[in-house]
Structure 1
Amino acid sequence: MKVIDMHCDTMKEILDARMIGKNTNLKKNNLSVDIEKMNQGNYMLQVFAAFTNMKEEDSTVNCLKTIDIFHNEIEANKEHIGIVLSYNDILKNIEQNRMSALLSIEEGACCKGDLGLLRNFYKLGVRMMTLTWNYENELGFPNEIIESKLVLDRGLKKAGFEFIEEMENLGIIIDVSHLSDAGFYDILNNTKKPFVASHSNARSICNHRRNMTDDMIKKLADRGGVMGLNFYSCFLNNNYTSNDMSKLDDMIVHLKHIRNIGGIEVIGLGSDFDGINCRVEIENASKMQILGEKMKKEGFTENEIEHIFYKNVLNLFKEIL
């Protein structure tokens, strides 16, 4: 089964490793994602996030450094993987028996609220972006706990509305993972194209503020969007502890629930590999096929598994890129 994964933080991990003198690369490493592991896992496409923590680093500079790593690593492995700037690039890579790499940004703060920076990031190859990470920025708000209370009702700021309009014009996929509930509905009500929640699960199964409510899942499905199953244990199970393993059984519960709420075509994969700090039953990219095997045992049809593993995201890319 071919695989499209909408989110990993591998490029940031490579950058961080090099910052402390480690010679880490994409071909083969001790992370969850590398060329060899993706080949073993039968990957068609991996979305690589340029993640930055705005509270710890200059978000724009760090994002640019991560994008530089991305381009250099893809170039160094061009016989195995090629950059995706348009849907046709995916088709060309398939013809050349190569995997595809799509560049995303995780944390819109790197744009400083400046549409010119957004356009420049597009020119550098960015084709997907989250408006926020875990902090308020120039574009909007995540769901936050303030004075011990969960705050869900602060959405996009003025710049955020300007950004989603320009993102649709350019062909940058809007990613609502990490955005507040109010921000989700701001995007729903002020855009026309499908959008994604690249690495979010079902909140009614695991009551974490990063997950999607049933109404959000329905609305995303109605728009033709896709949400990617996140492998992080705290987004899968209400009873997780810091030492827990992310388990296939919990993933199946989320997949079945999302299918019942939004239909099979709203589901994709968004592992969050190299961005999560729990043990995972799917140890790394090379083991991705065990999820498909588990799904078969749990009653998912071959057609349903194909749609979740790659077809739903591929169809969305075809429409937007």
Structure 2
Amino acid sequence: MPQSSLMPVFDGHNDVLLRLMRGKLPPERAFLDGDNIGHLDLPRMKEGGFAGGFFAVYVPSEGGGVDVDALMTQPQYDVPLPEPLRLDHSQKITVHMAALLMRIERASEGRVKICRTAADIRECLKTGSLAAILHIEGAEGIDGDLYMLDVLYNSGLRSIGPVWSRSNIFGHGVPFSYPSSPDTGPGLTELGKELIRACNRLKIMIDLSHLNEKGFWDVAKISDVPLVATHSNAHAICQHSRNLTDKQLAAIRESRGMVGVNFATSFIRADGQRSENTTLEDMIRHMDHLIEHVGVDGVGLGSDFDGATIPAEIGDARGLPRLVDAMRKHGYDEATVRKLCYENWVNVLERTWGA
């Protein structure tokens, strides 16, 4: 495996496509040559052992919405969610962001590959190409007849979160609220339930991270594949509405599913605060709890790079080896570290997609 001194990391979630879309530089060059903005670009990913992950297509609210990060510095908060988006606006941005990943792949000359199978990811881990999964965070760009789902699937889409935190025609997301239970309102709509069935037929992974608790249980009743939350933490440690209860974790374990530990400090800290002054030991407390309740084969990493405030000890993709070292110092053996860093993600995708 290339760069054998680094532990490969396969990551459950990043928002680099949104950052590149908003940037001033040509996105392909900014990513491939490195712009040193935010958390991710290819040179820094290589330096930190970032071997691949889920590249999110996320449609921001028109007008920008509220400043979520600022509100999450308060001792208690319940961030008002923006209004639902228009389909035409959402489809335009969805196509734009998906095309960015395709253009990066094309310009990379083999350094980046959009992966459609678990075998694709395994090959990238062998060759050193960056393994990218096209993921949608919030299905506002998909119409009620699901025609766009077919188009996106044929473009490489293999993972979808039906909602971001705002509501859409498919369901209701969980708000950014602390302290709060994830049981915050109604779950999936009838169209949302049909979307889950369609994803099962197409073997598209379903991401539960932004669904509220009723939506989570709606998916659990319908879906016939592992339950996966790509970037969520333990509610027992941080009572944020975005985190998962022990009952939810038990259902994920029963389905042979997966949870990716989110690096966002507001979902790590027991006080729910957005602060870079959050330790790696705080993160590992969540890993311990998730391993206890989901099992060592059902836990990985879900950074939220380029979409969140993360611990200063990590900083950006170059800081991943410091997290790996902290996991070792905590007492995880090498087999466990490999599972947490990349093996569990590849295995759950194989169980979802097939080989």
TM-score normalised according to structure 1 size: 0.93
Q: Does the alignment pair 1:6 with 2:12?
A: yes
Aligned residue in 1 for 2:67:
none
Aligned residue in 1 for 2:25:
22
Q: Distance in 2 between matches of 1:304 and 1:74?
A: 31
Q: Does the alignment pair 1:34 with 2:65?
A: no
Q: How many Å apart are 1:247 and its aligned residue?
A: 2.4
Q: Distance in 2 between matches of 1:10 and 1:245?
A: 23
The amino acid of 1:310's aligned partner reads Y
Where do 1:148-167 residues align within 5 Å?
152-167=184-199
Q: Distance in 2 between matches of 1:78 and 1:31?
A: 24
Aligned residue in 1 for 2:72:
none
Q: Is this contact kept in 2: 1:225–1:316, CA < 8 A?
A: yes
Q: Is this contact kept in 1: 2:313–2:322, CA < 8 A?
A: no
Q: Distance in 2 between matches of 1:264 and 1:153?
A: 31
Residues 42 and 144 of structure 1: CA distance in aligned 2, closer, same or farther (over 3 Å) = closer
Q: Distance in 1 between matches of 2:115 and 2:347?
A: 15
After the TM superposition, which of the residue ranges 81-90 and 102-111 deviates more from structure 2?
81-90
Q: Is this contact kept in 2: 1:31–1:274, CA < 8 A?
A: yes
Q: Distance in 1 between matches of 2:349 and 2:195?
A: 20
Where do 1:71-150 residues align within 5 Å?
71-144=102-175
Q: Distance in 1 between matches of 2:235 and 2:318?
A: 28
Q: Distance in 2 between matches of 1:55 and 1:46?
A: 27
Q: How many Å apart are 1:293 and its aligned residue?
A: 0.8
Q: How many Å apart are 1:171 and its aligned residue?
A: 1.4
Q: Is this contact kept in 1: 2:163–2:173, CA < 8 A?
A: yes
Residues 63 and 245 of structure 1: CA distance in aligned 2, closer, same or farther (over 3 Å) = farther
Aligned residue in 2 for 1:48:
55
Aligned residue in 1 for 2:335:
303
Q: Is this contact kept in 2: 1:2–1:310, CA < 8 A?
A: yes
Q: How many Å apart are 1:256 and its aligned residue?
A: 0.8
Q: Is this contact kept in 2: 1:232–1:246, CA < 8 A?
A: no
Aligned residue in 1 for 2:257:
225
CA RMSD after TM alignment: 2.0
Corresponding residue to 1:272 among 284, 299, 304: 304
Q: Does the alignment pair 1:319 with 2:322?
A: no
Q: How many Å apart are 1:54 and its aligned residue?
A: 4.3
SS in 2 for 1:288: helix
Gaps of 5+ in 2: 1-6, 64-84
Q: Is this contact kept in 1: 2:280–2:311, CA < 8 A?
A: no
After the TM superposition, which of the residue ranges 109-118 and 98-107 deviates more from structure 2?
109-118
Q: Is this contact kept in 2: 1:93–1:100, CA < 8 A?
A: yes
Spell out structure 1 runs of 4+ moving beyond 4 A: 54-57, 148-151
SS in 1 for 2:13: strand
SS in 1 for 2:232: coil
The CA deviation string for residues 239-298 of structure 1, in whole angstroms up to 9 with x for no partner, is 254444342121011111111122111211100000014553211112212111101111
The aligned length equals 317
Q: Does the alignment pair 1:256 with 2:288?
A: yes
Corresponding residue to 2:211 among 176, 179, 186: 179
Q: Distance in 1 between matches of 2:143 and 2:38?
A: 31
The amino acid of 1:75's aligned partner reads R
Q: Is this contact kept in 1: 2:58–2:138, CA < 8 A?
A: yes
Q: How many Å apart are 1:195 and its aligned residue?
A: 2.9
Residues 280 and 171 of structure 1: CA distance in aligned 2, closer, same or farther (over 3 Å) = farther
Gaps of 5+ in 1: none
Q: How many Å apart are 1:218 and its aligned residue?
A: 1.2
After the TM superposition, which of the residue ranges 180-189 and 37-46 deviates more from structure 2?
37-46
TM-score normalised according to structure 2 size: 0.84
Q: How many Å apart are 1:96 and its aligned residue?
A: 3.5
The amino acid of 1:66's aligned partner reads M
The amino acid of 1:34's aligned partner reads D
Q: Does the alignment pair 1:70 with 2:101?
A: yes
Q: Is this contact kept in 2: 1:106–1:132, CA < 8 A?
A: yes
The CA deviation string for residues 92-143 of structure 1, in whole angstroms up to 9 with x for no partner, is 3344432211110011121133311111111111110111011111001112
Q: How many Å apart are 1:144 and its aligned residue?
A: 4.0
After the TM superposition, which of the residue ranges 46-55 and 168-177 deviates more from structure 2?
46-55
Q: How many Å apart are 1:238 and its aligned residue?
A: 2.9
